[in-house]
Amino acid sequence: MNSDAADSETKGGIVKIANYRDVEAREVGDPGAKGVTIRWLISKKDGAPNFAMRLFEIRGSGYTPYHSHDWEHEVFILKGNGSLVTENGTRPLSEGCVVFVPGTQNHQFRNASDENLVFICLVPVEK
Ligand SMILES: [Zn+2]
């Protein structure tokens, strides 16, 4: 094994490989949320200092709160159909869509179908 590869693993922390199903799914209890679970796939707990990867599942007719914050979202829709509501209107979402929500923009993810809407959402780690 080459020593550069070994160094990069020890300098940057422990490499994590996991199945998302093994990460606990927590119900999102925020006011304005309905039928939403979140899994923190990669976070500060794993030694990631800058970015967190979360997986959301929104059950049929569920939605996230309509909210805003300073940081952006980078989203990848893995499964299902739904919509993104912003101040500029409502746009459809389906499998394969990538979404960039800039900071300070109000936004809400909605599932209009019976099937779960599943997506990855990346955020900066709170410091
Ligand atoms: Zn948000």
Question: 103 lies in a domain?
Answer: yes
DSSP string, 105-122: --EEEEE-SSSPEEEEEE
54: domain CATH number is 2.60.120.10
Question: 55 lies in a domain?
Answer: yes
Question: 17 lies in a domain?
Answer: no
Residue 62, class by beta-carbon neighbours within 10 Å (0-12 exposed, 13-18 middle, 19+ buried)?
buried
Residue 49 or residue 90, greater confidence: 90
27 CA to centre of own chain? 14
Percent residues over pLDDT 70 in the chain = 89
Residue 127, class by beta-carbon neighbours within 10 Å (0-12 exposed, 13-18 middle, 19+ buried)?
exposed
Q: Which tens digit of pLDDT belongs to each residue from 29-44?
A: 999 999 999 999 999 9
71 CA to centre of own chain? 13
Question: 4 lies in a domain?
Answer: no
Q: With contact defined as beta carbons under 8 Å apart, do 103 and 86 qualify?
A: no
Distance 33 CA to ligand 1 centre (A): 12
Question: Over 50: is that where the pLDDT of 107 sits?
Answer: yes
The helix/strand/coil state of 35 is: strand
Distance 107 CA to ligand 1 centre (A): 6
Question: 20 lies in a domain?
Answer: no
The whole domain housing 102 covers 25-124
How many independent structural domains does the chain possess? Answer: 1
Distance 26 CA to ligand 1 centre (A): 17
Question: 7 lies in a domain?
Answer: no
Question: 53 lies in a domain?
Answer: yes
Question: 8 lies in a domain?
Answer: no
